[in-house]
Structure 1
Amino acid sequence: MVVKEKLEKVLEEFNRLHGSEANARILRMEGDEVIIEFEGSFCATCGLYDYFDDIRWEAMDFGLELEPVEVLEAEEDDFEHGRYVVRYRLGKKPILTLNAKD
């Protein structure tokens, strides 16, 4: 399964679990970046950023590393409904290596 297919499965699972509160969809994939839009009423007792982080946990189940990096857009209306666009980094975290001294 290629990365895009895995991401689609990740969002399918996220939407299955959180669909009554929030739905997510991929807006764009480019290089190691993925832009995901979240829209919904969101649970008031849950932290908003928990939704963005839940995508990361779902991705792990499909062998992907996905890290939320930045909220690009945030819109809320008067009826507890919101839309958020979040940039994620896809791939392994950089590993710090030290060169051995002679």
Structure 2
Amino acid sequence: MNEREKLEEVLREFNRFHGSEAEARILKMEGDEVIIEFEGSFCATCGLYDYFDDIKWEAMDFGLELEPLEVLEAEEDEFEHGRYVVRYRLGRRPTIGMGIAETGKG
């Protein structure tokens, strides 16, 4: 599974858990930068930025590092609905090797 596929799976999981409040989708993925759009009513008692961080924690389960960097766009209407576009830095989490397979020595 490549990084894009992993990230799409991360967003599927996020949307499964948060879909009644907020849904996320990839707008752009280039190099180590990912732009994700969040749209929904968002829980009023939760911190808005918690939604952006939840993606980060989900990504860890798929071996990805995803760090929110900045909110690029924020739109809210009077009916408790919003749309936010967030820029993330994408990286791979280091994996622990056993040494033998990596060096070919045994």
TM over 0.5: yes
Partner of 1:100: none
Partner of 2:88: 88
Partner of 2:3: 3
Question: Residue deviations 1:66-95, cap 9 Å, x none?
Answer: 0000000000000000000000000159xx
Q: Which runs of 5+ in 1 are unaligned?
A: 94-102
Partner of 1:64: 64
Partner of 2:16: 16
Partner of 1:38: 38
Aligned residue-pair number? 93
How high is the sequence identity, in percent, across the aligned residues? 86
What is the distance in 2 between the residues matched to 1:32 and 1:62?
16
2:42/2:82 contact within 8 Å kept = yes
2:63/2:92 contact within 8 Å kept = no
What is the distance in 2 between the residues matched to 1:92 and 1:61?
11
Tell me how far 1:53 sits from its aligned partner.
0.2
Q: What SS is found at the alignment partner of 2:26?
A: strand
TM-score (norm 1): 0.89
2:70/2:87 contact within 8 Å kept = yes
Partner of 1:53: 53
Residues 63 and 92 of structure 1, relative CA distance in 2, 3 Å threshold: closer
Tell me how far 1:63 sits from its aligned partner.
0.4
What is the distance in 1 between the residues matched to 2:61 and 2:41?
26
Q: Which runs of 5+ in 2 are unaligned?
A: 94-106
Q: What SS is found at the alignment partner of 1:57?
A: helix
Q: CA RMSD in A?
A: 1.1
TM-score (norm 2): 0.86
